[in-house]
């Protein structure tokens, strides 16, 4: 599988394809995918992206913007390997073959068993296939979906807001507001990009949260995640979460993996966990957290109301080491994103 024509133009087109991919919804069972069609002279013929389940995939979306035959001899630059199966839509590999595409460039192989094989099908049809162009960058852009597809469960983000000394509430239990408006607005944007928002019954009983995704002026954002509550204690009939516009689920199960499996079956690919510490700790202990998202406020509270409880770590040698992804200032607060350190892959 070749690399004719140099990498630089392909990388430029791939970065544009990533920009296009981000226009699609981040919360569905389908990945965000972008596509750029390039003429033999290097000019851009058309662009496309996937808008969600049941809509045209990125490749077909781009092809649909051209007259019949106009894509013959062109290069398709796609963030994800073109699919090779029929679901709600037909296989993109066959659409590219039928359009007369001469070369297909993609970044990341499709990890789903029923959709992979597109590269092989294209090569069998005589189309030049170039793989792994900006693979690391594209993997970072669609990491939640890729991780979910590879693990067979939703990508789990454990979020909390705390003081510098790790407290999520004052001694009397009050916690509104530890962080400022910029941090809270960021949380709501991330809620809107998630398939579900998960809390324990203790959080609902203590705070009666709405768990909605809202704009800075309080209006509901266009997408609302499914609201999910886990725990054995009964919830009040008038709990705000029962009226959640994105839907409501409750689980009494102690098996958190089973909860995630159930959400996976419903099409949820990203779960945003907002507490409380009992639930966050349980997920961390069971190795079910893929990303830790912490908002640190420059305040000190003292006391015992810690963000995370006992993780069963006997000594510093067994500490859970995380890889720091980013640390950014939001107003007076700091947002930290870290991910569990994975064991290096064996050769």
Angle at 281 between CA 229 and CA 226, to 5 degrees: 25
Catalytic residue among 59, 81, 274, 280: 59
Q: Is 233 exposed, middle or buried (0-12, 13-18, 19+ CB in 10 A)?
A: exposed
Give SS3 for 181. Answer: helix
Please state, in angstroms and as integers, the Cα–Cα distance from residue 157 to each residue in 185, 197, 318, following that order. Answer: 17, 10, 22
Q: Which of the 8 DSSP states describes residue 244? A: -
Task: Check if 59 is active-site.
Answer: yes
Name, in order, each residue with C-beta under 8 angstroms of 250's C-beta and a sequence gap of 6 or more: 228, 229, 230, 235
Rounded Cα distance between 79 and 10, Å, is 11
Show the beta-strand stretches assigned E in 174-302: 196-200, 226-230, 248-251, 270-273, 291-297
Name, in order, each residue with C-beta under 8 angstroms of 257's C-beta and a sequence gap of 6 or more: 153, 286, 288
| Residue (of 286, 227, 277, 231) closest to 253 by Cα position | 231
Contact yes or no for 292/215 (Cβ under 8 A): no
Contact yes or no for 97/122 (Cβ under 8 A): yes
Peptide bond into 276 cis (omega under 30): yes
The 10 Å CB-count burial string (b at 16+, else e) for 320-345 is eeeeeeeeeebeebbbbbbbeeeeee
Rounded Cα distance between 270 and 71, Å, is 36
Strand partners for 230: 200, 251
List active site positions.
Answer: 59
């Amino acid at each position: 599988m070749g690399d004719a024509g140099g990498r630089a133009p392909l990388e430029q087109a791939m970065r544009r394809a990533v920009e296009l991919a981000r226009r699609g919804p981040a919360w569905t069972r389908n990945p965000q995918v972008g596509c750029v069609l390039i003429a033999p002279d290097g000019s851009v013929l058309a662009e496309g992206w996937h808008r969600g389940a049941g809509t045209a995939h990125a490749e077909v979306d781009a092809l649909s913007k051209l007259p019949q035959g106009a894509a013959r001899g062109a290069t398709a630059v796609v963030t994800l390997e073109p699919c090779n199966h029929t679901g709600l839509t037909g296989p993109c590999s066959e659409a590219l073959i039928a359009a007369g595409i001469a070369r297909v460039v993609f970044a990341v192989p499709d990890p789903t068993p029923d959709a992979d094989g597109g590269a092989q099908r294209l090569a069998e049809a005589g189309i030049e296939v170039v793989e792994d162009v900006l693979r690391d960058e594209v993997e970072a852009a669609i990491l939640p979906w890729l991780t979910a597809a590879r693990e067979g469960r939703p990508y789990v983000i454990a979020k909390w807001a705390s003081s510098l000394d790790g407290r999520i509430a004052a001694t009397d239990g009050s916690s509104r507001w530890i962080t400022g408006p910029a941090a809270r607005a960021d949380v709501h944007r991330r809620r809107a990009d998630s398939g579900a928002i998960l809390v324990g019954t203790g959080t609902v009983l203590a705070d009666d949260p709405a768990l909605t995704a809202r704009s800075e002026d309080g209006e509901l954002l266009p997408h609302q995640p499914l609201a999910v509550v886990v725990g054995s204690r009964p919830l009040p009939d008038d709990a705000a979460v029962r009226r959640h516009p994105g839907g409501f689920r409750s689980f009494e199960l102690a098996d958190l993996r089973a909860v995630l499996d159930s959400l996976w079956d419903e099409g949820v690919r990203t779960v945003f966990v907002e507490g409380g510490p009992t639930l966050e700790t349980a997920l961390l202990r069971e190795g079910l957290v893929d990303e830790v998202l912490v908002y640190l406020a420059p305040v000190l509270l003292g006391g015992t109301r810690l963000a995370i409880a006992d993780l069963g770590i006997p000594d510093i040698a067994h500490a859970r080491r995380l890889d720091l992804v980013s640390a950014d200032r939001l107003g007076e607060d700091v947002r930290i994103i870290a991910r569990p350190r994975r064991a290096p892959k064996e050769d």
